[in-house]
């Protein structure tokens, strides 16, 4: 994939978020007619050999990036991560069972609340008393013996915290909402019972939800749940029980190729640590900016910080946007600033933000 200059601003949006420019260029180049097919990806049957190839390559590349073995299915679904809040307990939580939820932010809380509709939920750890500014330490986790699963959110998109590594939770399958950090670094997917992610943050466009699920867990679902919401049905039909989001899967596949071209997940982690490090250094340099996440829980993907006043925060967002730095306003529930710097976010954009921050502080500090 080659890259040519364009007039793109630096897009710090939390999601849908920036995509790799070479991916957008390839999709644009091939939009009218996919090479060797003569039709657009938007026009072909989801049961055509051409699309079989697209989906199989996307899955194979994802498996290779993670190092995923044969114990897990990879499913391409719709409904977003929010639909997984329901599908996980529908499929994995028996009526007489209990599911543990580790609550580290508002997405985790939503997941737990949704699960309560289907069975017993135990919040086995929460950092709500600390306004979710950190993730729990391992001695704060109190998993229920025999729990059906333990659910956690690996990266808390809104508050800007991330588990430094996935914790040990005992024998229960670990279920991970990795919507905003899947593939930002290596992940031991083989150790997880289920990992899910809405694609629109770190993996591709909106409309696709990726689910990685241990095969035996798909057999737990009661007969009563709707066909479309059963993991086993999606698995049996190769994610094509009905029409899947063809274009989103195609674009996801291009992102997987790009990740392989970039050197895979270890290389991405090195790059993401460099990007986040530069930004956190700028935040910590003086007292003008203030990081909102505990240093030990800081996210590589969503960097959250505050300024001395809300008036300055508003001015910061407005002036940054005018300078070509878009989407720096924090989530409406927490305020402040949020710079989302997913895999596809260019290093030059981090440099531009740091330069802008220095200048803004010089004028207003």
Interface residue list for ligand PLP (CB under 6 A):
15, 80-82, 107, 153, 157, 177, 179-180, 198, 201
Measured on CA atoms in the order 301, 306, 310, 314, is the torsion positive or negative?
negative
In this complex, which beta carbon is closest to ligand PLP, that of residue 179 or of residue 316?
Answer: 179
CB of 121 to ligand PLP, least distance (A): 17
Is residue 208 within 8 A of residue 249, CB to CB? The reply is yes
CB of 187 to ligand PLP, least distance (A): 15
CB of 275 to ligand PLP, least distance (A): 18
In this complex, which beta carbon is closest to ligand PLP, that of residue 91 or of residue 209?
Answer: 209
Cα separation, 82 vs 114, whole angstroms: 9
CB of 177 to ligand PLP, least distance (A): 5
Which residues sit opposite 98 in a β-bridge? 120
- Under 8 Å CB-to-CB from 195, ≥6 apart: which residues? 175, 176, 178, 182, 187, 189, 211, 212, 213
In this complex, which beta carbon is closest to ligand PLP, that of residue 82 or of residue 315?
Answer: 82
Q: Indicate the angle between helix axes 264-284 and 246-261, nearest 10 degrees.
A: 80
In this complex, which beta carbon is closest to ligand PLP, that of residue 22 or of residue 330?
Answer: 330
Measured on CA atoms in the order 275, 278, 284, 287, is the torsion positive or negative?
negative
Residue 219 dihedral angles phi and psi, to the nearest 5°: -90, -5
Look-up: residue for tokens 């674009």? 251
Residue 349 host element (H or E): helix 347-364
Do the strands 337-340 and 325-326 form a parallel or antiparallel pair, or are they unpaired?
Answer: unpaired
CB of 273 to ligand PLP, least distance (A): 20
Active site residues: 107, 177, 201
The span from the first CA to the last CA of the chain, in angstroms, equals 43
* Distance from the Cα of residue 281 to its chain's centroid: 24
CB of 333 to ligand PLP, least distance (A): 13
What 3-state DSSP class applies to 68?
A: coil
In this complex, which beta carbon is closest to ligand PLP, that of residue 100 or of residue 177?
Answer: 177
Look-up: residue for tokens 């999601």? 15
Do the strands 72-77 and 209-214 form a parallel or antiparallel pair, or are they unpaired?
Answer: antiparallel
Would you state the structure tokens that stand for residue 131, as one six-digit string? 């306004």
In this complex, which beta carbon is closest to ligand PLP, that of residue 107 or of residue 289?
Answer: 107
């Amino acid at each position: 994939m080659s890259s040519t200059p364009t007039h793109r601003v630096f897009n710090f949006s939390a999601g849908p978020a920036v995509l790799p420019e070479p991916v957008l260029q390839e999709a644009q180049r091939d939009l009218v007619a996919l090479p060797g097919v003569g039709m657009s990806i938007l026009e072909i049957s989801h049961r055509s050999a051409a699309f079989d190839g697209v989906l199989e390559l996307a899955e194979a590349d994802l498996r290779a990036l993670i190092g995923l073995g044969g114990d897990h299915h990879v499913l391409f679904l719709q409904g977003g991560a929010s639909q997984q809040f329901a599908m996980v307990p529908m499929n994995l939580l028996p009526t007489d069972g209990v599911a543990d939820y580790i609550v580290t932010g508002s997405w985790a809380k939503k997941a737990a609340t949704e699960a309560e509709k289907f069975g017993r939920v135990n919040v086995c750890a929460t950092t709500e008393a600390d306004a979710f500014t950190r993730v729990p330490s391992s001695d704060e986790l109190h998993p229920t013996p025999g729990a059906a699963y333990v659910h956690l959110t690996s990266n808390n998109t809104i508050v800007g915290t991330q588990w430094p590594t996935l914790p040990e939770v005992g024998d229960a399958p670990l279920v991970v909402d990795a919507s905003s950090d899947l593939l930002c670094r290596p992940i031991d997917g083989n150790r997880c019972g289920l990992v899910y992610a809405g694609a629109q943050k770190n993996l591709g466009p909106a409309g696709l939800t990726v689910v990685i699920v241990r095969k035996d867990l798909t057999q737990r679902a009661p007969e009563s749940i709707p066909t479309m919401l059963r993991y086993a049905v999606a698995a049996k039909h190769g994610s094509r029980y009905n029409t899947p989001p063809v274009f989103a899967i195609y674009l996801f596949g291009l992102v997987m190729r790009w990740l392989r071209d970039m050197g895979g997940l270890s290389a991405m982690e090195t790059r993401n640590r460099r990007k986040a490090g530069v930004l956190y250094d700028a935040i910590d340099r003086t007292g003008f900016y203030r990081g909102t996440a505990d240093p030990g829980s800081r996210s590589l993907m969503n960097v959250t910080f505050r300024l001395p006043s809300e008036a300055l925060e508003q001015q910061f967002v407005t002036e940054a946007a005018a300078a070509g730095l878009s989407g720096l306003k924090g989530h409406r529930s927490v305020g402040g600033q949020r710079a989302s710097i997913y895999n596809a976010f260019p290093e030059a954009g981090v440099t531009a933000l740091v330069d802008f921050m220095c200048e803004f502080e010089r004028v207003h500090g």
